[in-house]
């Protein structure tokens, strides 16, 4: 689909001038005086809440829970972080788990238990809010939701995924667009609406930021610092979304004590989209090198799966956060993706990853097939 044909709902028109990022038109209403910046309400407005976060022990979403704990503790709430799995798991040596002293110093309690054991681990405890930032289906979310009801929680917040949306010819995705109804996250969202508590669901996309442990920008840096071309499937004009984990956390936190969030689903993304070629260009600027981009048609390389050759979906995959801006009074603290990528590149270099030997077998296979 040609970019010129796209007129996203609530988005600015796309000009023929080269751009890397595109912004949704803000419909944000002015937050109340009691609301902190970015929509997070402190205890003086909503009352101190006891919050349990059931956090995944891997993948990019782990950092959402870390930042959510920091955000809520900073606002004066009593927070317990329950990580799935065991404390001695080797995953705990990675970020964000290696940074847990930061949240402990803020008064956050850290525990470990699988979803099926949450009720036993926290037997007798009462919570006002339970956040599931782990489950992808009823087997993993069901036990946590049942515990939330038993623990007297009035709110249940679920970190879902924008990946459940069906592809659309008219991006960005808005809440209410068609989803894959049999997808685990969608089944969970439907079930939560039947429970005797106020549920809200948040659908994030790609994320970045301090504490991240899943390759996103690193995939680009690996190639750029070594002078390699970055192979982008398609035209490179496809729109996507990359959001700082703290901004995802502040949006979720803004729902706590907010009756307007009850029963609602929110796209958990920053207002601006970025093109796939634009992501390469921003990463190159952060690294201080020139971007070498090769766009190709995946059909010309039938022996290579696109999902194994590129970290983003090769289609328009961009959601609008206008609803969260309006209902939750939310706004991003990190609106400049380019600036965030500069910080991430500094961290990338500090780990020594830029100097490590790496093989790019899949890239080389694609280049050979293209005759490059």
* Model pLDDT, residue 47: 86
Where in the chain are the domains? Answer: 50-366
Examine the pLDDT at 12 and tell me if it is beyond 90: no
Per the model's pLDDT, the better-predicted residue between 350 and 45 turns out to be: 350
User: Of 102, 62, 99, which is closest to residue 82 (Cα–Cα)?
Assistant: 62
* Model pLDDT, residue 166: 96
Examine the pLDDT at 4 and tell me if it is beyond 70: no
Examine the pLDDT at 36 and tell me if it is beyond 80: no
In the chain, pLDDT over 90 holds for what percent of residues? 85
Which residues, other chains included, contact 105 with Cβ-Cβ below 8 Å and sequence gap of 6+?
none
Examine the pLDDT at 317 and tell me if it is beyond 70: yes
Q: Are 151 and 126 in contact (CB under 8 A)?
A: yes
Which of 39-53, 118-132, 271-285 is least confident?
Answer: 39-53
Examine the pLDDT at 32 and tell me if it is beyond 50: no
Examine the pLDDT at 354 and tell me if it is beyond 50: yes
Per the model's pLDDT, the better-predicted residue between 11 and 83 turns out to be: 83
| CATH placement of domain 50-366 | 3.40.50.720
Say whether pTM exceeds 0.85.
yes
Q: Are 159 and 132 in contact (CB under 8 A)?
A: yes
Examine the pLDDT at 318 and tell me if it is beyond 90: yes
* Model pLDDT, residue 34: 38
* Model pLDDT, residue 290: 97
* Model pLDDT, residue 44: 62
Per the model's pLDDT, the better-predicted residue between 330 and 23 turns out to be: 330
User: pLDDT (tens digit, 9 = 90+) per residue, 320-349?
Assistant: 999 999 999 999 999 999 999 999 999 999
Q: What distances in angstroms separate CA 246 from CA 4, 30, 208, 357, one per listed residue?
A: 33, 21, 9, 32
- Residue 304 token pair: 């290579």
Examine the pLDDT at 68 and tell me if it is beyond 90: yes
Strands (E), the chain: 21-23, 50-55, 78-83, 109-112, 129-133, 155-159, 198-204, 206-208, 230-233, 239-240, 242-244, 264-268, 272-275, 293-296
* Model pLDDT, residue 45: 62
Per the model's pLDDT, the better-predicted residue between 42 and 186 turns out to be: 186
């Amino acid at each position: 689909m040609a970019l010129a044909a796209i007129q996203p709902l609530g988005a600015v028109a796309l000009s023929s001038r080269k751009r890397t990022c595109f912004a949704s038109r803000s419909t944000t209403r002015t937050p109340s005086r009691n609301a902190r910046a970015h929509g997070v309400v402190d205890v003086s407005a909503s009352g101190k809440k006891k919050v349990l976060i059931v956090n995944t022990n891997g993948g990019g979403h782990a950092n959402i829970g870390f930042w959510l704990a920091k955000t809520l503790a900073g606002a004066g709430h009593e927070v317990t972080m329950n990580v799935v799995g065991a404390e001695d798991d080797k995953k705990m040596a990675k970020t964000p788990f290696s940074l847990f002293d930061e949240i402990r110093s803020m008064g956050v309690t850290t525990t470990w238990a699988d979803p099926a054991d949450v009720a036993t681990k926290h037997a007798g405890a009462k919570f006002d809010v339970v956040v599931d930032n782990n489950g992808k289906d009823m087997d993993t979310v069901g036990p946590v939701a049942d515990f939330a009801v038993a623990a007297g929680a009035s709110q249940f917040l679920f970190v879902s995924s924008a990946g459940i949306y069906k592809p659309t010819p008219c991006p960005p995705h808005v809440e209410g667009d068609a989803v894959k109804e049999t997808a685990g996250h969608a089944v969970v969202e439907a079930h939560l609406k039947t429970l005797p508590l106020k549920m809200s669901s948040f659908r994030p996309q790609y994320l970045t930021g301090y504490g991240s442990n899943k390759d996103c920008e690193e995939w680009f840096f690996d190639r750029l610092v070594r002078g390699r071309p970055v192979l982008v499937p398609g035209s490179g004009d496809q729109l996507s979304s990359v959001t700082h984990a703290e901004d995802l956390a502040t949006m979720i936190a803004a729902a706590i004590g907010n009756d307007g969030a009850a029963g609602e689903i929110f796209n958990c993304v920053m207002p601006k989209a970025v093109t796939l070629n634009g992501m390469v260009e921003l990463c190159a600027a952060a690294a201080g090198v020139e971007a070498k981009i090769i766009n190709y048609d995946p059909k010309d390389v039938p022996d290579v799966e696109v999902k194994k050759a590129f970290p983003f979906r090769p289609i328009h995959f961009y959601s609008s956060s206008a609803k969260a801006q309006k209902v939750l009074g939310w706004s991003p603290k990190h609106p400049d993706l380019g600036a965030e990528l500069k910080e991430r590149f500094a961290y990338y270099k500090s780990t020594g990853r830029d100097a490590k030997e790496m093989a790019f077998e899949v890239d080389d296979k694609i280049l050979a097939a293209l005759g490059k």
